[in-house]
A and B are shown apart, each in its own frame.
Chain A
Amino acid sequence: MRQAKSPFAFVAASYLVRIRPERAWTLAELTQHLLTVPDASILYHTFQSLESHNYTTFSNDFAQWALAACNESVLAEELSAIDLRDFAAVEELRKVLTETLERYLKQRPQTGDRPAFEPFFFCEAVETVVPLEGRAYTLHELAEGIQRMSLHTLHHHFINSRLRPKLRVNDFSNWIDDSLGLAELAKRLNRIDFYTNTLEGVRKEILQALNGWNS
């Protein structure tokens, strides 16, 4: 079995949610706040909240609010179609979100100031990452570690990692490519769709890919 020189370091990641003072009662207010809230807030309502949208139709908080509180299904669909995997920085994501809203409000100016059923509350997540003792030098050890990690930690390695500087992929693919030289397997993992799956489902698919790989 292929052995890496530098190991994969496991961590335990946790998120404390801070409620921000900004609230939007209209789509126009949402657009305004999106321009100014910190990156952590954009991150929370898109990358971080993916977990909580297993049951809902749309995959980020802005889209869900546009539908449930503003009854704007076309806008909700447009916001939901923004694929987080296309962005390597929150600023780019912020730009696309605000442009989508501005374009929609330009086409339908009457919708901008219509009060929502309930306000949008901006939040942000404070991440705490604690290093764990375990290290993986082989695919087998990586699979064992993924099997044992909490869903918060899986989210940290597989979803939030994509916005770490210059990464754009998940932590597992990054290590598999860099340290084991298995570019094809790294790509295969990176193609697992976290939008249409629960995190437990994502874990299952990752393990299937790792355990089925002959190295």
Chain B
Amino acid sequence: MTGKPAAPELAPVVPHLDDYAAVVGSAEIRELRELAHRLSGRHVKMVNSTSVGGGVAEILNRIVPLLQELGVLIRWEVLKGGNEFFGVTKAFHNALHGEPFEERPGWFDLFLATNEENQRLMGFDEDFIVIHDPQPVALVQARKGRNNHWIWRCHIDLSRPNATVWNYLRPWVEKYDGALFSAPAFTQSLPIPQYLFYPAIDPLSDKNRELPPEFVQSVLERFGIDPKRPILTQISRFDRLKDPVGVIQAYQRVRKYFDCQLVLAGGGATDDPEGDVVLREVEEAAQADPDIHILNLPPWSHLEINALQRASTIVIQKSLREGFGLTVSEALLKKKPVVASAVGGIPNQVIHKVTGMLAHSVEGTAYQIRFLLSNPSFARQLGENGCEHVKENFLLTHNIRRYLLLFLNLQQ
């Protein structure tokens, strides 16, 4: 990006619990302290498979310090594994979302061996162990002989899993004391209690906090985006399940009638080896259109992503499958009209024609975008409603409250 102006420096902000009172009210914070007080001296461990990139790492990056501030003795550990292991877990992930699965020799052995290796490296003496997603699910073998509580937090839509993979993972899931799902529709019939845990966004994080207009402007200049013409944006990893090529096809349909631009911005996660391949497919589909901006951003680009969302006319989330789709809540918090697929947890966030528009196809997505571009006051009202909906349901403080309640209920 030689020759482009650098974005003005913004002072890093590390929000503390009391800072959230400005968004959720001081009563909410006071009650969180009351609940946490009852867990005084209890130890918690969270385990997932990546420390950067993706929604799970983002949530943990914020929940862990805030729970520590509340006095909960919490520790976060990341599963260690090589590229081959993460290739296997990526195939598991896609299969659990319902994609076809072709087992290759040694995959299940590698999965188990990596879990067992990590089991030897980590201690599990905490009172509450929360294991996130399938990659570390077999760590539950370590509970043998221990009298603590084990919870499996599933961020994936398990409603239509590939039977081979699910039947392989299920016996481990059944060894937990409970499972946490992002929506009722994501669950499977299990003999353990299942709880509803909406995921959440942090309203004060770099990705969501208010930004000065000159910073937003500078980010647009840096990436060569014209602020005077409508900007359609999808923020997501370069992942086939997010259908970036479908977004380009929808844009191309809109483009026949509206002089607009498309921004596809996202980065990779350390546990997603397919990202580079998908990025090449997206570049090919864009056919060097100068109004399509494909931005492969490093994982620390939160302020840039925030600025791109704020500058957008419409935010798109045209996923084919989703966990919860937190980027939708991020856009809604910024009062942006959203056009999104009715998959995964998105219908929990986008109530059709009330907090956004739902679509089921490339054609439908293009139609809803055109409708909103033609009706800006309706689009503005959707954004306003969406912001309120997120503030009531999908903020970090709600998630912290649920964890505190879960631990309190388990220890009773």
Interface residues of A (CB under 8 A from B): 12, 14-19, 21, 51-52, 54-56, 118-119, 121, 123, 126, 128, 130, 132, 148-150, 152-153
Contact = CB atoms under 8 A, between A and B. Distances in A.
Interface string B97-119: 00000000000000000000000
Nearest to B27: A150
A18 B196 contact: yes
Contacts of A119: 185
Contacts of A153: 27, 31
23 contacts: A12-B31, A14-B31, A14-B401, A14-B404, A14-B405, A16-B195, A16-B405, A16-B409, A17-B195, A17-B196, A18-B195, A19-B195, A52-B392, A54-B392, A118-B185, A123-B196, A128-B409, A130-B34, A130-B38, A148-B27, A148-B30, A149-B27, A150-B25
A122 to B, nearest CB: 8
Chain B contact patch, size range = 20 to 34
A44 to B, nearest CB: 10
Contacts of A21: 189
A88 to B, nearest CB: 27
Contact of A19 (B28, B35, B196, B409): B196
Interface in B16-69: 25-28, 30-31, 34-35, 38
B280 to A, nearest CB: 36
Given A18-B195, A55-B354, A12 B187 contact: no
A88 B239 CA distance: 52
Nearest to A23: B184
B389 A132 contact: no
B187 A19 contact: yes
A152 B34 CA distance: 14
Contacts of A16: 195, 402, 405-406, 409
Interface string B377-412: 000000001001100110000000110111011000
Interface in B168-204: 181, 184-185, 187, 189, 193-196
Given A17-B196, A130-B35, 12 more contacts: A12-B35, A14-B401, A19-B181, A19-B187, A19-B196, A21-B189, A51-B392, A54-B388, A121-B185, A123-B196, A150-B25, A150-B27
Nearest to B401: A14
A54 B355 CA distance: 12
A148 B409 contact: no
Contact of B184 (A14, A15, A55, A123): A123
B351 interface: yes
A117 to B, nearest CB: 10
A121 B181 CA distance: 13
A150 B28 contact: yes
Nearest to B196: A17
Given A18-B195, A121-B185, A128 B31 contact: no
Contacts of B30: 12, 148, 150
A15 B35 CA distance: 12
A2 to B, nearest CB: 26
B355 A55 contact: yes
A12 B30 CA distance: 9
B194 A19 contact: yes
A132 B27 contact: no
Contact of A132 (B34, B38, B194, B401): B34
